[in-house]
A and B are shown apart, each in its own frame.
Chain A
Amino acid sequence: MKKLATVSLILALCGGAFYAVSAAEKAADPAAAPKEAAPKAPVECFESRKGASEVTQREIKPGWPNVKCSPTTGAALWYGDPFDGTVPMGKMPQLDIPEGQAVIKPRSEKLALMPMCGTACHNGVGPTFTPPTLPKGKKPAPVPTMAAMVPDLANLQHGRGRIWCLDCHHTTQRNKLVDHYGDPVSFDQPQLLCGKCHGDKLRDWRDGIHGKRIGEFVSTGKKRWFTCTECHNPHNVQDGARNRGFVQLQPEPSPQLPRGMANADHEKLHAVGH
């Protein structure tokens, strides 16, 4: 600060008072310029999984955004309101939570983006083409119409070939999943379907050990629960370098380098030779 003041003083004495002031302002707040431009274009960031849940940044009260987004990776970095855009989760078996204390972010609205699927074919009764293009049972069969639309249909990773589309998706209702008894399951509650096979994970998820929740941490508090598909892509569950069901993503910037160091190569040296 002192240095700055001196610089501006000298400049002022030289007669460049105006320039000195503007220079000092710029130097004092180098981040000001890009920050001002940011609110104009809507900032959108992704939460856990790209493509699963995006949030658009907006102010919920002056100077208080609903979410802060990373300028580097476009990831959600801070929640001003953890319950922004959520609805009650609804009843879950073996889960005794007062109504409204467990909320989720609905996916159903997004599914409405593809309405044409639900008009001609997946309309609740099935298409009226002859011969019928929709398989009657759950037995895997080639579906040429779908194969054209979903290129990786043939090498679906999930279950390593043991399951196929209609084990999870409802045959005639485009916007529904299906459980083992053929009953429709909402896309907002994928846990009702996933938990049928991954029971251990469902149990941990129910107790808050597996998966993610935000909001109030006390066990009776209101929480937003992240459902299975908000983190895992059921179609390529084994993606990611570690085959752990979470796709790779770009990390946030690394910490400051130690004073006088140009890079972090010293971190890669091992005390033990090998």
Chain B
Amino acid sequence: MANKQPPCAGPAQDLASDCPVQPASADPAANPLKTTRRDFLRAGGMLSMSSLMGTAALMTQSDNANAATEWAEHFQKNYRLMTPEEKNEARLRLERRYSDEYGKKVAVDTTEAQPGMLMGYALNIRKCIGCRRCVHACVAENNQSRGTRPGEKIEWIQVLRMERGKFEQEKMNHGYPEGLGIQVGGNAYTPAGQVLEGQYRYNPEKVPEADATYMPIACMQCEKPPCVKVCPVRTTYREADGPVVIDYNWCIGCRMCMGACPYWARRINVTTPVLPKEEMNPVTHYLGNRPRMRGVVEKCHWCLQRSRHGRYPACVEVCPVGARKFGNLLDPQSEVSKILERKNVFRLKAELNTFPKFFYFYD
């Protein structure tokens, strides 16, 4: 394996994930000691494999191939520590397993980040009409659980409905606090919905409603993501091209990241995900929309399986008003760069210094 490593000294190195100077976020795969550690682990695994495989097969009541897959998955490393060959093995393993499970040819992509790409997102808050098409496009694309029992329905995007505030003549002499007669302030203002305090389950006949504003939220793909800081097994991390991703195989379901995320972006599969065969999207990415298992956390990853191949995320494509914009922040000609240059933008909870790459803007 060591002899297959591409030369790391040359300036032309780009996708070589094994190079110590890779521009990724502190890539642990760069650790030169990894070879020994992995070989040790694998050797240990191999010894006991033959004897335990029979047991595993008995326990899962399935054929040998499936058991072997499961067994191999137990010895799979953190995605960032895998060599390209190991990633390929993992990919083939998953493709076999998913194709079997969903009865169609499932592709698991492992395309790496491209140099010169830093994904960014912008959303026109004035345009959003609250139709929730983005929410459902996301579900269609990303293989979320769609059952009906509690916890079986997972959606990554939430659209907040916020009431508009207004000052009113009739409330001019309402004191504050109201009813106590102590006048420390006025109460003529009916407050507008505040950020992150709103209605998610609004269901009028038609949107947009005259008295409401809508604010979709999902993972903001922070540059300094608190979720990454707290993950005890380091299975969630920022990819070199921007998105914060999760290696679902290493997630232990501790939900630390869910608590750390200030944007309520993360969801956990408390049940075995319900994903009907015919609705399953067979084009997947290892770090993206491949089917998840029970007990792992998931969230928006900007449709990695699409965006790594240059395609817009699913939510961008279905928004009927064109409120959603996606592009390369490093390219001055991209839609997002033009928005940052020309429009008024803000980031949600900017005071937390998470530096989201998701911007809200308005005309």
Interface presence of B346 (CB below 8 A): no
Interface size, chain A (Cβ < 8 Å): 59
Of A64, A77, A215, the contact of B140 (CB 8 Å cutoff): A77
CA distance A221 to B136 in the complex (A): 26
The answer to whether A257 touches B334 (Cβ under 8 A) is no
- Complex Cα gap A178–B331 (Å): 37
Q: Which residues of B contact A244 (CB under 8 A)?
A: 127, 208
Q: How many A-B residue pairs have CB under 8 A?
A: 181
A210 located at the interface, meaning its Cβ lies under 8 Å from any Cβ of chain B in the complex = yes
B334 interface neighbour in A218, A231, A253, Cβ under 8 Å: A218
Q: List 20 A-B residue pairs with CB atoms under 8 Å apart, sorted by A's residue number.
A: A35-B278, A76-B318, A77-B133, A77-B137, A208-B327, A210-B322, A215-B312, A217-B311, A218-B310, A218-B327, A218-B334, A231-B320, A246-B320, A248-B206, A251-B207, A252-B132, A259-B151, A267-B198, A274-B187, A274-B191
Say yes or no for B321: interface residue by CB 8 A criterion.
Answer: yes
Total number of B residues with any Cβ neighbor in A under 8 Å: 67
Q: Are A251 and B328 in contact, with the CB atoms below 8 A? A: no
Question: Which chain B positions have C-beta within 8 A of A79?
Answer: 314, 317-318
Beyond contacts A77-B140, A209-B325: 13 other A-B pairs, Cβ-Cβ < 8 A, are A47-B320, A82-B312, A208-B325, A208-B334, A215-B312, A219-B328, A241-B208, A246-B321, A249-B320, A250-B205, A253-B203, A259-B150, A274-B171
- In the complex, whether B89 has a CB less than 8 A from a CB of chain A is no
A268 touches B208 (CB 8 A): no
- B224 in the interface, Cβ–Cβ < 8 Å? no
Q: Cα distance A75–B206 when bound, in Å?
A: 14
Interface residues of B (CB under 8 A from A): 104, 127, 129-133, 135-137, 140-141, 150-151, 153, 155, 158, 171, 178, 187, 189-191, 197-210, 272, 276, 278-279, 282, 307, 310-312, 314, 316-322, 325-328, 331, 333-335, 338-339, 342-343, 363
A274, chain B: closest CB distance, angstroms = 5
Q: A270 contacts the other chain (Cβ, under 8 Å)? A: yes
B56 to chain A, nearest CB (A): 19
**Which of B155, B191, B312 has a CB less than 8 Å from the CB of A217?**
B312
Q: Is A60 an interface residue (CB 8 A)?
A: no
Cβ–Cβ contact B131 & A249, under 8 A: yes
Is there contact, CB below 8 Å, between B333 and A77?
A: no
> By the criterion CB–CB under 8 Å, are B133 and A252 in contact?
yes
CB distance from B340 to the nearest CB of A (A): 10
Q: Is the CB of B318 within 8 A of A219?
A: no
